[in-house]
Structure 1
């Protein structure tokens, strides 16, 4: 196995584990999820995956980064709702974060199903 493919698989696996561990507490684990999505995107880039798969992982990374940035920005100014003086509608800015995480989960399932399907179809030596 080429070193590039090996590193690609290691980075994707570590990123996926990081994203799963960060999901235990999405607010405290947001940086772990962001780092995990970056590792997955970089691992897919190293593995020279198909262009649509790579673009999908980059969209996931951008959505998560925007949502986590909004989460931290809103936390820095005192949050939303309650006595903060900001409407709960400001929470819409955080929505790309869970949407990106769910897209990552769907993408991982798609790649796993495709890998298992292709492995079953491959001729045995």
Structure 2
């Protein structure tokens, strides 16, 4: 059950924002294997002075960064994460975002760090999540 935060320019039209959110979700379904209905996203548009970035850091030529922060349960192998980054960049290209402008971070935590309603830790009851190798 990932929680996705997408921060982007307010100059991007609403349809483009939705296409970006759809592209991130599609990557999570296709690569991580989350259920299609497991969609929790926060899309926040920002003015030009609110998104600061180095236009050439690590030799990547950025112009209009789209920040994607995904909080998810720990346990996915490195290869799966690397594939997720590639898939998000490819999907966002279809939404009009240059691959150079896709900035993704993963924030990992444990099953007991989630309550998705009713004050319960539902993921603890499930005991597993898509794509993760959990330690006993």
- Please give the TM-score of this superposition, normalised by the length of structure 1: 0.28
Indicate the structure (1 or 2) with the bigger Cα radius of gyration: 1
Query: Greater RCO between the two (CA within 8 Å, min separation 6)?
Result: 2
Higher helix share: 1
Higher strand share: 2
